[in-house]
A and B are shown apart, each in its own frame.
Chain A
Amino acid sequence: MLLLCFMSYAGAASAQDEEEDLLSLLEEEPTTEYATASFKTTRVINGHSIENVAGGVLDLKISHRFGMLNSGAYNLFGLDQASIRIGFDYGITDRLMVGVGRSSHDKVYDGFVKLKLLRQSSGERWMPVTVSLLSGAYLKTINWQEPERDNYFSSRMSYPNQLLIGRKFSEGTSIQLMPTVVHRNMTALKSEAHDVLLAGIAARQKLTKRISINVEYYYALPDQLREEFQNSLAVGFDIETGGHVFQLHFTNSTSMIEPGFMTETVGDWGRGDVHFGFNVSRVFTIRTPKD
């Protein structure tokens, strides 16, 4: 009898609790939350970010770098000269993207594959960083400087390989590290390295929901490149307007592609050898993911 009393009491108590919060009846299923939009686009500025375009999405990128700011008012601070890259990136899946492009500087055709190996997540599955692998092939088609000697097609090629290791620390702040090796089939001097090792770091800080400031720096390990080459440093803003992302930036690199800005940057920030530039990105959904 006592037991019965106790049971009915317990029953009443639990009924009262349930009235307060019905949903607490259901056990929360453990979920995994993946970090999204660590960077606004697939590029920080010149180089790649840990972001991929989504599966089935085509991203048309048109990028410009003007001449150097210190070229004076006669050239309207570089605006009279412009180099351009037109490129298409396509997401085969959410984790695998490919891209092609063509730059006017050195007349380079480029192609790359980017694969997201790990995705930053919290919850049931915990992963502190996103890791992507970028691998590309770049073909310089500018006329040979010395056409009279034996020139091989293979000498036009170079191959960058990068690991992109990034973390979105908070809603506004993301940082990534980019250990990189650029293989160049041909160098100007014998003393230069064919395989150039670089350490890159990039960060993004949101200023508002739609505007962020980005910084990107590639440090070439010493004694690999000629004295005249500089490390690439770029600072810029991402401005998002619906379907477009505008990236406006300042950089000491003329080239917008990996072997170029990583190993052939001649601009010196200290002297004002700085290019103003922008990337415009417009995405098109080619294939909608089936549900």
Chain B
Amino acid sequence: MLSVLVLFAAITVSQAQDKYFTKTGKITFYSSTPMEDIEAQNKTTTSVIDTKTGKMEFAVLMKAFQFEKALMEEHFNENYVESSKFPKANFSGTITNLGDINFKKDGTYKAMVKGNLTIHGVTKPIEVPGTITVKDGAIQAVSTFNIAPEDYNIEIPSLVREKIAKQIKVTVDMAYEPFRS
């Protein structure tokens, strides 16, 4: 009986080590035009990564993006991403080159992630490059990529078109820690 318990405990531990999570992931986006630079940061992104399957999931609360100007934040929520209607952005995908990454060994690895990104109620497949750093049992994942508001049915009226970039640069910075259930 004792051996069964030990075995079970061992299973739980090995299971726990596969999955890593964060609730304080950082996502920033940056729109740059000759007229105006707009930057916003979200520090409450939740994400889970399963190192065994390479699966990654993200949930981003849109209202948690903080802007330099209060009015920008209001416009972002009210007019562009319509946060009340679409409170969260989601990403669900997998690391396509999982074989190149050794989550058990400290080091920095290039990663490709492919999956579906949902913003403003619109889901689009995306594939982005990233860097995964394993150190002392924690995982850091960083990625920078561009998205176009147009792809997600985010309307930008002609009056402010000059101020908002066609391509928005998104930076994702997640510090994962081991998940223990």
Contact = CB atoms under 8 A, between A and B. Distances in A.
B71 A23 contact: no
Contact of B59 (A3, A11, A23, A55): A23
Contacts of A285: 68-71
Contacts of B66: 291
A56 B59 CA distance: 31
Interface stretch (A25-33, A129-137, A138-146): A25-33
Interface string A7-37: 1100100010011011101100101010011
A242 B84 contact: no
Interface residues of A, number: 34
Contact of A54 (B56, B57, B70, B85): B70
A209 interface: yes
Given A25-B19, A26-B21, A19 B41 contact: no
A31 B88 CA distance: 13
Interface stretch (B47-55, B104-112, B120-128, B129-137): B47-55
Interface residues of B, number: 39
Contact of B71 (A21, A31, A283): A283
Contact of A22 (B7, B11, B50, B163): B50
Contacts of B4: 3-4, 7
A57 interface: yes
A209 B46 contact: no
B159 interface: yes
B79 A288 contact: no
B2 to A, nearest CB: 12
A241 B50 CA distance: 45
- Residue with the greatest number of chain A CB neighbours at <10 A, chosen from B47, B61, B84, B157: B84
DSSP class of B's interface residues: helix, strand, loop or mixed?
mixed
B166 interface: no
- Residue with the greatest number of chain B CB neighbours at <10 A, chosen from A25, A33, A56, A291: A25
B151 interface: no
Contacts of B47: 23
B74 interface: yes
A23 B118 CA distance: 15
A210 interface: yes
Interface string A35-53: 0110000000000000001
B48 A243 contact: no
B78 interface: yes
Given A3-B4, A11-B11, A37-B78, A22 B70 contact: no
B164 to A, nearest CB: 10
Contacts of A11: 11, 15
A242 B63 contact: no
Contact of A57 (B7, B53, B70): B70
A80 interface: no
Contact of A26 (B8, B23, B77, B159): B23
Contacts of B8: 4, 7
B152 interface: no
Contact of B79 (A18, A209, A243, A283): A209
A210 B71 CA distance: 13
B179 interface: yes
Interface string A263-291: 00000000000000000000101001101
Contacts of A25: 19, 21, 48, 179, 181
Contact of A241 (B49, B70, B159): B159
Nearest to B12: A11
Contacts of A56: 70
A33 to B, nearest CB: 7
A54 B53 CA distance: 45
A192 interface: no
A241 B39 CA distance: 20
Interface of A: 3-4, 7-8, 11, 15, 18-19, 21-23, 25-26, 29, 31, 33, 36-37, 53-57, 171, 209-210, 241-243, 283, 285, 288-289, 291
26 contacts: A4-B7, A4-B8, A7-B8, A18-B50, A22-B50, A22-B57, A25-B48, A25-B181, A29-B23, A33-B63, A36-B63, A54-B70, A55-B70, A56-B70, A57-B71, A171-B85, A209-B79, A241-B159, A242-B75, A242-B159, A283-B70, A285-B68, A285-B70, A288-B69, A289-B70, A291-B66
5 shortest interchain CB distances as A-B pairs: A54-B70, A22-B48, A22-B57, A285-B69, A23-B57
